[in-house]
A = this chain, B = another copy of it.
Amino acid sequence: MENKIVSILMGSDSDWPIMKAAAEILDHFGIKYDVEVLSAHRAPELLFKFAKEAHTKGIEVIIAGAGGAAHLPGVIAALSPLPVIGVPIKSSISLEGLDSIFSILQMPSGIPVATMALNGAKNAGIFAAQVLSVKYAEIRDKIIDYKKKLEAEVIEKSKELKKNI
């Protein structure tokens, strides 16, 4: 897997502190990725070109994060046949992030976006790995290991909490 097979997109570079969690977990799984700032609103033609071509350039999964009236994941999903994972981002003036969630989640019949929790970029990366694990057996093994590690951490933390009470 030498090639970039995931694209991490975001509506603004100010989303990077949230979205980099997706990049980090993909690093952990040894999956190569591309990062782009693309805007459904400010640079729609660029986004259009990108989304129409991504699957022809080796990209296999797209992760797209956006906040407010968050149209980026949905418009990408409209233009690309690839599976699109959406990350609703809670902006500073936020309606608690409900605007981001509803704008990404409530897609019409025919054009799904796989929506993650608010600010859930890390889970977007894990889910991208799970999608790829359908094709790449070695990623499946890494996911199984990752889940074992999560379990071990819980056991460890329970022990420590009991010691410290």
Known: A42-B78, A102-B99, A107-B69. A120 touches B112 (CB 8 A): yes
Q: Separation in Å of the A27 CB from the closest CB of chain B?
A: 11
- Are B109's CB and A123's CB within 8 A? yes
- Are B16's CB and A161's CB within 8 A? yes
Q: Separation in Å of the A29 CB from the closest CB of chain B?
A: 12
- Are A132's CB and B134's CB within 8 A? yes
- Are B43's CB and A13's CB within 8 A? no
Indicate with 1 or 0, residue by residue over A113-136, a CB within 8 angstroms of chain B CB atoms: 111111110111011001111110
Residues of B contacting A69 in the complex (Cβ-Cβ under 8 angstroms): 74, 102-108, 113, 117
Indicate with 1 or 0, residue by residue over A136-151, a CB within 8 angstroms of chain B CB atoms: 0000100110110011
Known: A36-B158, A140-B81. A42 touches B111 (CB 8 A): yes
Residues of B contacting A124 in the complex (Cβ-Cβ under 8 angstroms): 112
